[in-house]
Structure 1
Amino acid sequence: MALSEFSLQYVPQKAVKGQALADFLAQHPSSYGFGGNDVEIGLVETRDNYWMMYFDGSGTSASIGVGIVIQSPDQHCWYFSLKIDFDCTNNQAEYEALVISLNVLHDLRVARVLILGDSELVINQLNGTFRCMSCTLTPYHTIAKYLAESFDDITFKHISHIRNTDVDELAQITSGA
């Protein structure tokens, strides 16, 4: 009901590779007799560990880009660089990067995550230090808070621009800055 005022469109999720692997293993039990019925899949073993996610948005007059870096507890990193094909402010681009990354983490079934960003406004709005008063940012803030509730433990932390250079470069390359 809280989101009914926004024009959101439901898009069914496409097959998730991890789920396809789980379905395959469930339908084709091992003939090697490993003993027990437990199957360990790397994505599921992250329940007791923190994942880390860095995000940034960058805008020019011609283009908007976002950069995302997701780091697993065993230090594997995934880099995402996306171009936004509609006009938005730099703060909206920051929220776009955050919402996209929260969706990716949710699809990976991550339970505990540390979110790191150099946007003081976005991080402090999500921590509750700042109130979200902008009518252009309120829909993003609402969606980000909703997605954050799906994690067992989530922490938002502001970091300096210097500590966020990887995702900053990804966002700037995509935006053409």
Structure 2
Amino acid sequence: MNVRIEITYRTPKGTEAVFSSEEMRAKHALLITEDLEKTGRIKNLVFIDTHDNTWNLKEFKKLIEEIQTEPHDVTVYFDGGFDFNTRKSGLGCVIYYEQNGKSLRLRKNALVEELESNNEAEYASLHLTLKELEHLGVHHLPVIILGDSQVVINQLKEDWPCYEENLARWADRIENKIDKMGLDVTFKQIPRKTNQEADRLATQALRGIDILSTSEVD
């Protein structure tokens, strides 16, 4: 969860000014705020998220405590592969998140047969990722989505048009899922070598190896 801090600062002689910070992780905002409060010169202080929701310090501390028990600080990788010979697709996703003070990683893949191209497999793998986020209970949080597909990333960012009807249907399905879950999504294209973990899961799915695991990571 990212927020910015807005404070009203008062000098010893009563001069006031309002300052607003850049966006930062919630836990960092809380640390900075607690340090600022030691000055004794903060007249008013609020935390504001990307949707302009606001909290005072007491409300924000309670929110942070509640968030710690749920998945948060979510970053996901997705990849899809299409075998032209078998007409089958392998989907792979990796989800990194924090929960109850632990750093966790979920790995999931799937084999599907109804797709027609590699681009469609890439879209399907992202849809699989969102379904796994939904199963985890991730909602109304910022999520970073990383993939090496120029087509999927640029079409969902609306930098590229989407002329193919089947891909447009996938894009609509994904956007509707994101809206339903209330996610604040950042799409980023990454090099294929940076996406090897999701790529390996997609390849394993094509080989008939099913993967579903959650583990703690450093």
Match of 2:190 in 1: 159
Alignment-derived partner of residue 102 in structure 1: 130
Between structure 1 and structure 2, the one with the greater Rg is: 2
Aligned pairs for 1:123-162 within 5 A: 123-149=153-179, 150-162=181-193
Residue equivalent to 2:97:
72
Segments of structure 1 that go 5 or more residues without pairing to the other structure are: 1-38
Q: CA deviation at 1:163?
A: 0.2
Matched ranges for 1:22-61 at <5 A? 44=70, 46=72, 50-60=73-83, 61=85
The answer (yes or no) to whether the contact 1:43–1:108 under 8 Å persists in 2 is no
Return the offset for 1:43.
5.0
Preserved CA contact (<8 Å) 2:111 2:206: yes
Structure 1: how far apart are the matches of 2:69 and 2:143? 13
TM-fit CA distance, 1:80:
0.6
Kindly state the Cα deviation for residue 105 of structure 1 after the two structures are TM-superposed: 1.1
Preserved contact between residue 43 and residue 109 of structure 1 (Cα < 8 Å): no
Give the count of matched residue pairs.
136
* Counterpart secondary structure, 1:106: helix
Please tell me whether the aligned partners of residues 71 and 137 of structure 2 are also in contact (alpha carbons under 8 angstroms): no
Which residue does the alignment assign to 1:90?
118
Contact 1:83/1:175 (8 A) holds in 2: yes
* Cα 1:128/1:83, change in 2 over 3 Å: same
Uncovered stretches (5+) of structure 2, i.e. residues with no partner: 1-64, 209-218
Shift of 1:107: 3.1
With the length of structure 2 as denominator, give the TM-score of the two structures. Answer: 0.57
The CA distance in 2 between the partners of 1:117 and 1:145, in whole Å, is 16
| Matched residue, 1:173 | 204
**How far apart are 1:173 and its partner, in Å?**
1.8
Give the % identical residues: 31
SS at match of 1:58: strand
